Amino acid sequence: MTTMTETSARFREFKMPDVGEGLTEAEILKWFVQPGDTVSDGQVVCEVETAKAAVELPIPFDGVVHELRFPEGTTVDVGQVIIAVDVEPGSGDAAPAAAETVQQPVAEAEPEAPKGRQPVLVGYGVAETSTKRRARKGVEVPGPAAAAIQAEINGHGPVAPVTRPLAKPPVRKLAKDLGIDLATVVPTGEGGIITREDVHAAVAPAPAEVASPAVAPAPAAPVAVAADAAGRETRVPVKGVRKAIAQAMVGSAFTAPHVTEFVTLDVTRTMKLVAELKEDKEMAGVRVNPLLIIAKALLVAIRRNPEVNAAWDEANQEIVRKHYVNLGIAAATPRGLIVPNIKDAHDKTLPELAGALGELVTTAREGKTPPAAMAGGTVTITNVGVFGVDTGTPILNPGESAILAVGAIKLQPWVHKGKVKPRQVTTLALSFDHRLVDGELGSKVLADVAAVLEQPKRLITWA
């Protein structure tokens, strides 16, 4: 979609783009530029978090930052202007002068504000054609005389000018989300502007009044709202990745009929193979761990049972057989759970698969996973064993047919060749969509994965 507009030959606006697949909003996590900074085509100006991932946004033209429309921590709809840039700096000050005229009443009420910065904005003002967002400068509805005449014609007599509370768009959205009528909120901001803190205070008045930042950006971290005066409970707004996780898991759990099967197995030979591969020159430079062999075992099982790799098309009432495997790896990140996937994992050699796994994990931990990397998955692995957990009943990633949970690998007594010996043992759990996968097929897939991990030579014989 188009993400920039021209307000004049001099000022250009950059809109929040759709950085994912049909996403409708994103939260501004961090601004990398401030008004007055010079930017160039392709330079990253901010980081935003969508329902899928954190993404850096580059600006598509050169110039000087004129205005940041939203502070950090604000959720912005796709298509809204987030930054205005002066593409012809030094060519005159007609547009800035117009912006100063619009903001003059507030500027006089904020004598301590930094030079050129107006408290009703985050930035240095707006271009002439973008002042429609702040047409409330006098809080009176345009044309009061005409309104009075019309009222007299209707038999109501003269009417007082109509007013509405002063608040920035993000604050209005916050109030709407919390069910607060702005008319009932006592403003503490300069010029009678209602701040985020005022809205929170209307929900649960704080014991001590918090200073209102007239122009400072809101914190990027989620805003916690105390539910009671004693502070025994805290409410955290659900947004971004956490919101997407909640919606996806509820949708999956109540749409796809889940079945989960378990198997406990001896993976001593797999652990020996991992140790040997770490010393192999062919695997130099890539990370080798049990997850690599488990992923390869699952790919072998899917090759032997291709019907498991499918999707349910509810609209057309069809089962879509997929002849490729985009292998998802559930990853816990500071922003929540994400499931990026390795494209065409079935075609990769062991070293290639190891490299792809390492890159996927590193990118996820850094919060740099692009939305495209989380789209189009077919089956997923979730390694709960890293937390010391024996197993679980994983919920399917929406649109996928199966998910394999891997438990902790522990030294346990095990009957081996007729004698009880200490062996490396783990438990696998396979959840699958019973619309697509019946019990026999699901059991075969899980049994094949276990067989490969018990006897890794099957990676060759079954390949």
Catalytic residue annotation: 434
| DSSP code, position 215 | S
Return the structure tokens found at 424.
């490396």
Return the structure tokens found at 4.
């920039």
Q: Residue 387: which of 452, 446, 331 has the closest Cα?
A: 331
Kind of pairing, strands 402-406 and 379-383? parallel
Residue written as token pair 């901010």: 46
Side chain identity, residue 162 = V
What are the start-end ranges of the E strands in 267-400? 310-313, 318-321, 327-329, 331-333, 336-338, 341-342, 379-383
Side chain identity, residue 180 = I
Cα–Cα distance, 393 to 130 (Å, whole number): 52
Distances (CA, A) of 89 to 46, 85, 103: 21, 9, 21
Q: Is-contact 48 19, C-beta < 8 A?
A: yes
Q: Is-contact 46 56, C-beta < 8 A?
A: yes
What are the start-end ranges of the E strands in 302-409? 310-313, 318-321, 327-329, 331-333, 336-338, 341-342, 379-383, 402-406
